[in-house]
Chains A and B, each alone.
Chain A
C-alpha cells in the first residue's frame, strides 16, 4: 500500500515569495491534515479536511496561508507571501476512519526555509 506522498521535500525561498506544497493521501482516506512543525516543537495543526470540506482551520494564518482539496483526494497548501517565521517542516497526514481512534499516517514532510 502506497503511503502519503508529499512534494517537494525541500524548498528554499526568500521572504515575500510564494510557495506551494502538494500532498496525496493514502487511497481511500477521507480525512487529510496539514501540520506545521517548527524545529524543536511538536506538530501544530493548520487545517483538517473531511473529503473536500474543511473541518478545522482555526490555526491557519488565513492572511497568508491557503489550502484546498478540491476533489477530496490530493491537497495543496500555499503560502503567499512567506515570512521568516514560516520556516518549518510541513507535514501532511491522512486517516481512514472518521473517529477518535483513527491512526494518522504521515508523509515525509516538506521542509521550507525562508531567507
Chain B
C-alpha cells in the first residue's frame, strides 16, 4: 500500500524566511506525488504535482518541490514566506487513481 509521512505537524517561520515542509513516501511503483494547501474553512487546492517528468516541480504561489527517489522524499519549499502562506499543507501519493494523504503540516508565518 502507498503512504506518505509528513514530518512536523506544525512549522513556524518568520515572514521572509525559507519554508521547508517535509514529505516522505512509500510506493511500490513510480509514484505520482502531490502537494495540496488548505486555507481555513476551505477545501484542498493543488499546489503542484510530480508525474515522472522533471524532478524539480514548480507550483503556484512561489512553491516548488523536488522529487528525490534515493531518499523517497518530496519536500516542499518556498524561498521567502509570506503571511498569506499560513495554512495547512498536505502531501499525497496517488496509485491507480487512489489518493493517500499525509496527516498535514500547519504552517504559521510570524510577522
Contact = CB atoms under 8 A, between A and B. Distances in A.
Interface of A: 4, 31, 33, 40-45, 48, 50, 55-56, 91, 93, 95, 97-109, 111
Nearest to A56: B98
Nearest to B51: A101
B97 A91 contact: no
A108 to B, nearest CB: 5
A48 B94 CA distance: 13
Contact of A102 (B36, B42, B97): B97
Contacts of A91: 43-44
B94 A100 contact: yes
Nearest to A41: B103
Given A91-B43, A103-B46, A108-B43, 8 more contacts: A40-B9, A40-B103, A42-B102, A42-B104, A48-B98, A99-B97, A103-B34, A104-B46
11 contacts: A4-B43, A42-B101, A45-B99, A93-B44, A97-B97, A100-B95, A101-B51, A101-B94, A104-B99, A107-B43, A109-B41
Interface string B77-111: 00000000000001000111111011110000000
Contacts of B99: 33, 45, 104
Contacts of B103: 40-42
Nearest to A91: B43
Interface of B is mostly: strand
Contact of A104 (B42, B44, B95): B44
B35 to A, nearest CB: 12
B14 interface: no
A95 B34 CA distance: 14
Contacts of A109: 41-43
A108 B42 CA distance: 5
B40 to A, nearest CB: 11
Contacts of B97: 31, 48, 50, 55, 95, 97-100, 102
A56 to B, nearest CB: 6
Nearest to B30: A100
